[in-house]
């Protein structure tokens, strides 16, 4: 059975909360990134990230009602909105939307390189850490 | 008699134009050849090997145009004394693509095509000689501006930044194509936010060694 990143994301968030965490921006970004990386690491031939990059623009992350999203994604978005509440609402909404599209776009690029045996760019683990560092800074700047 | 170079360039030029007008997945090789006044279906194989080879040639042509726009912007930034600023360098990456999107026909998939092709570029190499001259200037200047960070961190971030940028602009284009009014309210707002975010991402402190609360997402994914 193919690993479902949304299931992994829910478990990751549960584990963070059980340890008293889960409310920091970095943790929430990691909850977006790691499950996708986990899926890519287990499925070398997948087009999962490219499909996600094509479909993610159809998601309205800015909606006040995010009920249409997967529950784990809802938790991530509510968490980010709470953690970044000091930002102007419009700025916050734009950044969250862009962050999700950044992440899937970068993983899609990784997938293309892997499929074409191009040996440039970070390996998957380094890419995940790089993305978490960059997106966290991008959201909190 | 048409020279080989002229015939090849004509095919690339026509392909660039009609792919931009209609979108990459909405154009056939037959249409490209017909509009190029090439009557031999084997012309693509002869000049480019296959359709992917033609698409690489189109991407190369578009990068030349983009290079000229970035070069002009870099020259202006240097004249303004901003040529070494990370934010200014990211403006030079983002804004020429945004300009292109602003003026693109409704069906164009310029940014999505760029997002598909950009992973083929190696932004991490120490030798940047294979990149377009403007991109060479940008990467060299970013490496200097970020020289307090470990070299591998800088390389990974710069490479990731280029793919982030085309990925986000591709998402914008996809929404525009589908009439979805999600995300930032305009291309200008998107560009500014993207520049803010990528600049911050590049300049972030190096977190190597930082221990996250690490429940082990990879393990979780395996169990899912």
**Does A62 sit within 8 Å of B221, measured CB to CB?**
no
pLDDT tens digit string along A42-65? 998 899 999 999 999 999 988 777
Neighbours of A42 (CB within 10 A): 14
- On the question of pLDDT at B218 being above 80, the answer is no
Specify whether the CB–CB gap between B115 and A53 falls below 8 A.
yes
**What pLDDT, on the 0 to 100 scale, is given for residue B183?**
92
Nearest 5 degrees, angle CA A13-CA A16-CA A20?
135
- On the question of pLDDT at A96 being above 50, the answer is yes
Q: Could you tell me the pLDDT band of residue A67, with boundaries at 50, 70 and 90?
A: confident
- On the question of pLDDT at B191 being above 60, the answer is yes
Closest CA to B97 of B155, B157, B170, B18: B170
A111 Cα distance to chain centroid = 15
Residue with tokens 């008293």: A20
Main-chain dihedrals φ then ψ at residue A55, nearest 5 degrees: -90, -30
Mean pLDDT of B52-64: 93
**What pLDDT, on the 0 to 100 scale, is given for residue B212?**
38
Residues across chain A: 141
Neighbours of A108 (CB within 10 A): 26
Q: Could you tell me the pLDDT band of residue A139, with boundaries at 50, 70 and 90?
A: very high
Dihedral sign, CA of B70, B89, A29, B176? negative
- On the question of pLDDT at A108 being above 90, the answer is yes
**What pLDDT, on the 0 to 100 scale, is given for residue B217?**
39
Averaged pLDDT score across all residues of chain A? 94
What is the value of ipTM here, to two decimals? 0.95
**Does B168 sit within 8 Å of A122, measured CB to CB?**
no
**What pLDDT, on the 0 to 100 scale, is given for residue B41?**
81
Mean pLDDT of B107-114: 92
**Does B204 sit within 8 Å of A133, measured CB to CB?**
yes
Averaged pLDDT score across all residues of chain B? 88
Size of interface A-B (CB pairs under 8 A): 197
Give whichever of B121-130, B159-168, B175-184, B198-207 has the largest mean pLDDT: B159-168
- On the question of pLDDT at A87 being above 90, the answer is yes
Which residues are CB-neighbours of A131 under 8 A, at least 6 positions away? A29, A33, A102, A103, A106, B160
Q: Could you tell me the pLDDT band of residue B3, with boundaries at 50, 70 and 90?
A: low
Percentage of residues of chain B with pLDDT beyond 90 = 71
**What pLDDT, on the 0 to 100 scale, is given for residue B128?**
84
CA distance B201 to B165: 12
Nearest 5 degrees, angle CA A117-CA A122-CA A125?
105
Task: Supply A7's token pair.
Answer: 């299931």
**What pLDDT, on the 0 to 100 scale, is given for residue B2?**
52
Q: Which residues of B touch A98 (CB under 8 A)?
A: 168, 183-184, 190, 193-194, 197
**Does B190 sit within 8 Å of A59, measured CB to CB?**
no
Which residues are CB-neighbours of B211 under 8 A, at least 6 positions away? none
- On the question of pLDDT at B215 being above 50, the answer is no
Specify whether the CB–CB gap between B214 and A30 falls below 8 A.
no
Task: Supply A78's token pair.
Answer: 């509510």
Residue with tokens 């760029």: B114
**What pLDDT, on the 0 to 100 scale, is given for residue B167?**
98
Percentage of residues of chain A with pLDDT beyond 90 = 84
Nearest 5 degrees, angle CA B60-CA B65-CA B68?
125
**Does B190 sit within 8 Å of A8, measured CB to CB?**
no
Q: Per-residue b/e over B161-183, b at no fewer than 16 CB within 10 Å?
A: bbbbbbbbbbbbbbbbeeeeebb
Query: Cα distance from A128 to chain B (closest Cα, Å)?
Result: 10
- Which of A130, A132, A135 best tests the B interface by mutation, with the highest count of B CBs <10 A? A130
Q: Could you tell me the pLDDT band of residue B23, with boundaries at 50, 70 and 90?
A: confident
- On the question of pLDDT at B187 being above 50, the answer is yes
């Amino acid at each position: 059975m193919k690993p479902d990143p949304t299931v992994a994301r829910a478990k990751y968030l549960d584990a963070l909360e059980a340890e008293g965490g889960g409310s920091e921006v970095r943790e929430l970004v990691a909850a977006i990134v790691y499950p996708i990386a986990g899926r890519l690491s287990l499925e070398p031939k997948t087009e999962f990230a490219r499909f996600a990059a094509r479909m993610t623009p159809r998601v309205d992350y800015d909606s006040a009602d995010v009920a249409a999203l997967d529950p784990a994604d809802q938790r991530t978005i509510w968490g980010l909105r709470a953690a970044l509440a000091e930002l102007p609402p419009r700025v916050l909404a734009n950044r969250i939307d862009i962050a999700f599209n950044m992440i899937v776009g970068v993983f899609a690029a990784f997938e293309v390189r892997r499929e074409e045996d191009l040996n440039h760019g970070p390996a998957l683990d380094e890419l995940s850490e790089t993305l978490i560092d960059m997106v966290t800074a991008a959201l909190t700047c | 008699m048409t020279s080989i170079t002229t015939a090849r360039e004509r095919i690339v030029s026509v392909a660039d134009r009609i792919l931009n007008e209609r979108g990459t997945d909405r154009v056939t090789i037959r249409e490209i050849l017909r509009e190029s006044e090439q009557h031999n279906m084997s012309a693509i194989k002869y000049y480019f090997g296959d359709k992917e080879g033609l698409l690489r040639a189109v991407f190369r042509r578009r990068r030349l145009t983009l290079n000229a726009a970035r070069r002009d912007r870099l020259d202006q930034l240097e004249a303004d004394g901003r040529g070494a600023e990370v934010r200014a360098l990211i403006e030079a990456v983002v804004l020429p693509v945004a300009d292109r999107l602003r003026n693109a026909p409704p069906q164009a998939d310029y940014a999505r095509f760029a997002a598909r092709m950009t992973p083929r570029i190696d932004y991490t190499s120490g030798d940047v000689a294979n990149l377009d001259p403007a991109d060479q200037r940008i990467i060299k200047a970013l490496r200097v501006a970020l020289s307090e960070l470990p070299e591998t961190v800088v390389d990974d971030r710069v490479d990731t930044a280029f793919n982030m940028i085309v990925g986000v602009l591709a998402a914008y284009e996809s929404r525009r194509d589908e009439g979805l009014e999600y995300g930032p309210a305009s291309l200008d707002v998107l560009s500014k936010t993207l520049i803010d975010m990528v600049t911050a991402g590049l300049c972030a402190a190096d977190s190597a060694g930082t221990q996250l609360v690490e429940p082990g997402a990879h393990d979780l994914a395996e169990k899912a």
